[in-house]
Structures are given as C-alpha cells and as structure tokens.
Structure 1
Amino acid sequence: MDLAFARKFAAEWQDDWNSHDLERVLTHYHEDVTFSSPMIARFTGDASGTVRGKDALRAYWARGLELIPDLEFEVMDVRAGVDTLVIDYRNQIGGRVYEVLTFRDGLVSAGLGAYGETLAR
C-alpha cells in the first residue's frame, strides 16, 4: 500500500458513494468481507455492529441509502498503512467519520467506520 494508491482509491470511493450506485461501491470489496460500524447496530438492530460477507454488506448499505437518501461524502484526508488505508471524510450532515479499510489481493477484506459527535444525531 502506498499513498498514491490510497488517494486514488479514496477518490473513487467518494465518487462511487456519491453516485448512490451500490453495486459500483461493492466492486471494491471481497466476497468474504467483514465490516463493523455503530451504524450497523443502529440500522439493523444487530448489537454486534458487524456484517460478514458481501451480501450482508449490500443489505446493510441498501438500508442506509433508504434511510439517508441525501447521503454524500467528501474526502478530507487519506492515510496509508502496510495493507490498510484510512479515509477521513465529511458526511451530508457535516460530521467527520473515519473509514478504516484493510486490503487483500487489491480488494477490501475488512473495514470499520468510526464516528464522533455525529453518531448521536
């Protein structure tokens, strides 16, 4: 992982999400992806806050797009690790969120969303 890859990925990620085309977003994720977020618990009622597999991730994100039809992301910063990148972005209500994505074979194999004050909204 290098910063050039991380920046390119984050720009595509932002454009994909802002298109609201869920299949376009999901092209970046492994079939066996694991994703955790406090929003999963909020939207699905699953207290674990984790989904496993692309189909479960698709269902969670589809629900999110139903509940937030004006969803829009603006990437503020990107950080690169060994096999992980962090996207710092602002959402449609102005909240800052961090998306931490771990890659395997060029696709996201695990991710998590981390929220601050905007989680309470």
Structure 2
Amino acid sequence: MSDFAQIWVDAWNRHDVEAVLAHFHDDVVFSSPVAGRVVPGSGGVVRGKAALREYWTSALAQLPDLHFDLVAVYRGVSTLVINYRNQRGQLVNEVLIFDGELVCEGHGTYLE
C-alpha cells in the first residue's frame, strides 16, 4: 500500500486529476473541509467521480503551487491513511477506504 501512496502523491504533484481519479469508484463519496469552501452547498461532501473531478479541478485552479511530500502511510483493514505535508507546510491525512482495488470513500483531514 505504500506504493499506492507514492503513486497518489506523484499524481497530485503532476496535477494529474485523471491519474488520481483512476483509483476511485464511480460512486465514491469524499469529504473535506476544503470541499466545503470550493463546492458551494456541498457541506464538504462530494458524491460521485464526476463531482469529485469538478471539485479537484476547481481546487487545483486556485492552488497552482500545490505540492505534497509524503510523510507516512498507515494501513488498516481496507483502509489506507496517507500522511503528507502540503505546499503550505500543513500536515494533512487522506483517509481512503477501499472496496477491492478502488477507493469507495475518502476523507481529507487537517490538523487544527
């Protein structure tokens, strides 16, 4: 799973939304406080791959310097937590829940 995390970070660092989305189910549910700011009326929850594409594409347009540095990877049962530092120096965790090989649920979590 640490290979997955590095592939995920590399795709984000290339700003390749399609490469990131390739790992997600069509009916994925994703939550993030950033989504709450970028997607009006979402309450921070994005449903479906098409909506996730729109959210991430909009967010990247606002963050041209986006860059992640992998810090640690935590594996659970059907769950992967990717701990990284973003371009602002903030520590972030991406919590990904898998159904088979694809992510069915994800949560962006930020240090308060």
Flag whether TM exceeds 0.5 (same fold): yes
State the 4+ residue runs in structure 1 displaced beyond 3 angstroms: none
Alpha carbons 1:35, 1:111 under 8 Å: kept: yes
Which residue number corresponds to residue 6 of structure 2? 11
Establish whether residue 51 from structure 1 lines up as the match of residue 41 from structure 2.
Answer: no
User: What amino acid is aligned across from residue 8 of structure 2 in structure 1?
Assistant: W
Establish whether residue 88 from structure 1 lines up as the match of residue 83 from structure 2.
Answer: yes
Secondary structure in 1 aligned to 2:77? coil
Which residue number corresponds to residue 61 of structure 1? 56
Establish whether residue 39 from structure 1 lines up as the match of residue 52 from structure 2.
Answer: no
Q: Give me the CA root mean square deviation.
A: 0.9
1:12-27 matches, within 5 Å, as 12-27=7-22
Which residue number corresponds to residue 101 of structure 1? 96
> Equivalents in 2 of 1:46, 1:39: separation in Å?
12
> Equivalents in 2 of 1:81, 1:21: separation in Å?
27
Cα shift readout 1:77-111 (whole Å, capped 9, x = no counterpart): 00000000100000001000000000012000000
> Equivalents in 2 of 1:79, 1:25: separation in Å?
19
Task: State how many pairs are aligned.
Answer: 112
5+ residue gaps in structure 2?
Answer: none
Secondary structure in 1 aligned to 2:65? coil
Cα shift readout 1:7-31 (whole Å, capped 9, x = no counterpart): 0110000001001111111101110
Which residue number corresponds to residue 73 of structure 2? 78
TM-score, structure 1 length as denominator? 0.89
Secondary structure in 2 aligned to 1:76? strand
* Structure ranking higher in helix proportion: 1
> Equivalents in 1 of 2:41, 2:98: separation in Å?
25
